[in-house]
Structure formats: structure tokens, C-alpha cells
Amino acid sequence: MSGTKEDYIIYRIEKSNEVFEDAILLAKNERWNSCVNRLYYSIYYIASALLYKNNINAKTHNGVKTQLFLNYVKTNEIDKKFGLLFSHLFDWRQETDYADFVDFDRETVKPLIMEVQELKNVLLKLINQ
């Protein structure tokens, strides 16, 4: 990695915003599986920025999920509903990438967009503290 710690954090926040915008475009085109993938990554990127800011080591996707739970959900800095959301997105992203015959639909995915935006806002607030 080149650049400062702040550069990395800013980069990850920007990546989170970019893939969230991609998720919205995919939803408009009813590409639900790909939308779930992008929603997951929008949280993954901003969560990794938060962990990095606070010197919490997480080298894998599962590591990011585990450390977010241990350091923020378990301590109630992040509401458990958001922990559950990230956990579902983690599992669903795995399913859409690796399982056959997995097809998400509008009713399942559309509400996730606002929930992901809320979680992104919570994580950004923690980053800015």
C-alpha cells in the first residue's frame, strides 16, 4: 500500500460510495444478484476503513465481518440489526458468487438499499469521530 493512513481510509470510503452507486444502477435494471454483490462490497469497503482507522487487523472478508462484530456490534456501537444485515449480505454475496440456482428478487433486494445506506452512514459517523 502506498500513501498515508488517511489516504487509505478516504480511498475505501470512495470505493464504498462508488459500488453503492453501482448497486442502485443494477437495481434499476433489475439485476438483483449483482445488486446484492455491490451492496455487500459497499459495506465491506467502509467497514474495512473503520477497522483500519482504529488499528484493528482484518486481512480477509471473514476477518472484517468478525472484527466488526467483536469491536462494534458486541459493544453496541453498531445496532445488532446492522450486524445482522452485514452478516446476511456476506452470506448472500457468497451464494450469488458461488452457488447455482440462486436468484434474488425485487421484494428481497429493494429494501436492502435503504438499510445499507443507513449502515454506511453509521460507519461513516464512527470513522469521523
pLDDT tens for 42-100 read 999 999 999 999 999 999 999 999 999 999 999 999 999 999 999 999 999 999 888 88
Q: Given a cut of 90, is residue 1 above it in pLDDT?
A: no
pLDDT tens for 27-45 read 999 999 999 999 999 999 9
Sign, Cα dihedral of 81, 83, 84, 86: positive
Domain count, the chain: 1
Residue 87 lies in domain = 5-127
Q: pTM for this structure? A: 0.94
Q: What is the grid cell recorded at 87? A: 452478516
* Predicted local confidence at residue 49, as pLDDT: 97
CATH number of the domain bearing residue 73: 1.20.120.330
Q: Are 28 and 2 in contact (CB under 8 A)?
A: no
